[in-house]
Amino acid sequence: MPIRFILNGEPCEESAVSPSMTVLDYLRERRGLTGTKEGCAEGDCGACTIVTASARDGGLDYEAANACLMLVPQLDGKEIITVEGLAEQDGTPHAIQQALVAEHGSQCGFCTPGIVMALFAFHHSGDPVETEKIHDALAGNLCRCTGYRPIVDAALTLDSPPADRFARESGKRMTSIQGLALSDSYEFDQENFHAPPSLEELVRLRAAYPDAYLLGGGTDLGILASKDRKRLGRVIWTAQVPEMARIERTETHITIGAAVTYTAALPLFEEFYPSFANLIRRIGSRQIRNLGTLGGNVCNASPIGDTPPIFLVLEAVFIARSRRGVREIPAEAFFVDYRKTALAEDEILEAIRIPLPHPDTIYKAHKISKRFDQDISAVIGVFALTIRNGTVEKARVAFGGMAATPARAVKCEATLEGAPWNAATANSAGAALNSDFAPISDFRASGDYRRRIAANLVRRVFEETSNSTTLIDVMAL
Ligand SMILES: Cc1cc2nc3c(=O)[nH]c(=O)nc-3n(C[C@H](O)[C@H](O)[C@H](O)COP(=O)(O)OP(=O)(O)OC[C@H]3O[C@@H](n4cnc5c(N)ncnc54)[C@H](O)[C@@H]3O)c2cc1C
Ligand code: FES
Ligand code: FES
């Protein structure tokens, strides 16, 4: 079946494009829409930012995305807006473009189109127009010349949403998107892209094609197409299965479908685990968080993935499904080796179940990286400490970046449990990390730095829970 989408207001149908082609290449090479630029081709610079609009909860959801990481079949059923599609019908530039000109925020032609698109998505996101939120919206758009001040000034002059034709035409646009028939299977030139609409079909395909690439948001896999220029052959996309995108709450637990994006999961973490929400807000950029999924992060099983240590301390359960049935895997048993999970060849990760927070437990997460935004961690430390009457009753501590897999720090936990919660205990627990881990040196950090920073994080958590006045917060500087 062809892929159907709307591009800058025009309905499009594609049946003769490689499913391994990135949206960036498609826009530039097939559609001549060269306003969308290629900078890094790996999700870091934002020059390729486009906006996708999907019909959700009775409204239109506008999200910025990196076209360099998306495959063309991921456009199915969406509206795509590029910088060429923003102007009013009489050719007047969009309010954001005008504001950038007025505030001298229009800089080189390479980054500006991506910046315009990131701000367009921001002003249609419903977020309040505040400096901090604007910084967050622009964290995935690198500018190497004069800086962000005039760009932020321009963003501050506009209402959210601006009174543009997108706001005026939202009903018509939603009807057009809802009218698009979804394709569950696309084939071209001996390559296949499956977008199964049900769990049953997803696990059937997984069993039939164990060598196919299983695609969540593509922020890891997309680089194979974008940077390595690889033909992917056969891809099975999880995003169209409703159960994979679900978030369910009971009295005691939350179940998050493996294809839930960071953006969709964020409000949940903000409500229940604010410290973990701070960590999630620092994953990549908005463009990355709009595409990347929790399931992709854990199945990638990177030792420096940001969410696995969260799931380890929460004693999460990973729900795996195959045609043979459903299997529950404790987080601790999931990461079996470097970039290797406990999933069998025919299994997919369906969902992740986490408990609701315990009122006596302190939850903390810290990410150490060279930059605050848009950087991969050198070390991630996550803590869940149940403290009663000044004594640590239960400790769950997990780290990323300290071993070949994300892992619990069991010696550190044992030092904490039963001990009074004071500076001496925090120091001893930090020292115990030397028995838990022997971290390696690489271009992100030396082993010695990792050891010291991990011990310091234990001390930091103590200071944070002790009304300390000596703590420095990098964002407050
Ligand atoms: C610019 C940039 C910045 C980034 N920053 C960060 C960061 O700060 N922190 C961080 O942790 N990561 C970061 N990442 C990595 C990436 O964004 C995350 O790992 C993301 O969560 C991957 O999710 P995805 O849905 O995009 O995965 P995909 O690329 O779709 O898949 C990743 C892997 O998981 C497998 N997979 C996906 N879904 C399933 C499933 N349901 N069952 C079984 N296997 C599955 C895929 O087959 C693949 O092997 C960054 C990436 C980029 C490009
Ligand atoms: S080209 Fe740099 S993020 Fe896509
Ligand atoms: S706008 Fe391109 S480098 Fe600053």
Per-residue pLDDT reduced to its tens digit, 248-269: 999 999 999 999 999 999 999 9
**Beta partners for residue 320, in sequence order:** 327, 349
> Would the pLDDT of 474 be above 70?
no
Percent of the chain with pLDDT over 70: 99
Nearest ligand by distance to the CA of 311: 1
Domain residue extents for the chain:
3-178, 185-241, 244-476
Would the CB of 38 count as within 6 Å of ligand 2?
yes
Q: Which among 205, 300, 334, 371 is the best mutation to test ligand 1's pocket, defined by most ligand atoms within 8 Å of the CB?
A: 300
Q: Which among 28, 48, 374 is the best mutation to test ligand 2's pocket, defined by most ligand atoms within 8 Å of the CB?
A: 48
What is the position in ligand 3's atom list of the atom closest to the CA of 115? 1
Domain 185-241 has CATH 3.10.20.30: no
Nearest Cα neighbor of 433 from 411, 416, 418, 414 is 411
What is the position in ligand 2's atom list of the atom closest to the CA of 140? 3
Residue 205's CB is within 10 A of a number of other CB atoms, namely 22
Domain 3-178 has CATH 3.40.50.620: no
Per-residue confidence (pLDDT) for residue 475, from 0 to 100:
63
Give the mean model confidence (pLDDT) for residues 323-337.
Answer: 98
Nearest Cα neighbor of 141 from 49, 68, 25 is 49
Per-residue confidence (pLDDT) for residue 320, from 0 to 100:
98
> Would the pLDDT of 477 be above 60?
no
E strand residue ranges, 21-179:
49-56, 59-66, 79-81
Q: How far is the CA of 288 from the centre of ligand 1 (A)?
A: 9
Residue 446's CB is within 10 A of a number of other CB atoms, namely 14
Q: How far is the CA of 374 from the centre of ligand 1 (A)?
A: 14
Q: How far is the CA of 66 from the centre of ligand 2 (A)?
A: 6
Per-residue pLDDT reduced to its tens digit, 64-91: 999 999 999 999 999 999 999 999 989 9
Give the mean model confidence (pLDDT) for residues 94-119.
Answer: 94
Per-residue pLDDT reduced to its tens digit, 205-231: 999 999 999 999 999 999 999 999 999
> Would the pLDDT of 50 be above 80?
yes
Render 275-321 in DSSP notation, one character per residue: HHHHHHHTSS-HHHHHH-BHHHHHHHT-TT-SSHHHHHHTT-EEEEE
The residue assigned the tokens 């991969």 is 376
Per-residue confidence (pLDDT) for residue 422, from 0 to 100:
96
Would the CB of 64 count as within 6 Å of ligand 2?
no
CA distances for 101 relative to 6, 116, 246, 404, angstroms: 29, 11, 42, 49
- Is residue 275 within 8 Å of 363, Cβ to Cβ? yes
Q: How far is the CA of 115 from the centre of ligand 3 (A)?
A: 9
State whether residue 165 is helix, strand or coil: helix
What is the position in ligand 3's atom list of the atom closest to the CA of 109? 2
- Is residue 158 within 8 Å of 123, Cβ to Cβ? yes
Q: How far is the CA of 377 from the centre of ligand 2 (A)?
A: 20
β-pairing verdict for 234-237 and 213-215: parallel
Give the mean model confidence (pLDDT) for residues 308-330.
Answer: 98
What is the position in ligand 3's atom list of the atom closest to the CA of 111? 2
Q: Which residue has the higher pLDDT, 327 or 469?
A: 327
> Would the pLDDT of 45 be above 90?
yes
Q: How does residue 59 score in pLDDT terms, banded at 50, 70 and 90? A: confident
Structure-block tokens of residue 247? 């978030």
Task: Give the predicted TM-score (pTM) of the model.
Answer: 0.96
Nearest CA to ligand 1 atom 15: 220
Give the mean model confidence (pLDDT) for residues 231-237.
Answer: 97
Per-residue pLDDT reduced to its tens digit, 386-427: 999 999 999 999 999 999 999 999 999 999 999 999 999 999
Would the CB of 44 count as within 6 Å of ligand 2?
yes
Per-residue confidence (pLDDT) for residue 374, from 0 to 100:
82
Q: How far is the CA of 332 from the centre of ligand 2 (A)?
A: 35
Q: How far is the CA of 151 from the centre of ligand 3 (A)?
A: 11
- State which fold the 244-476 domain adopts: 3.30.465
> Would the pLDDT of 293 be above 90?
yes
**Beta partners for residue 397, in sequence order:** 383
Which residues form ligand 3's pocket by a CB distance below 6 Å? 107-108, 110-112, 143-145
Per-residue confidence (pLDDT) for residue 382, from 0 to 100:
98
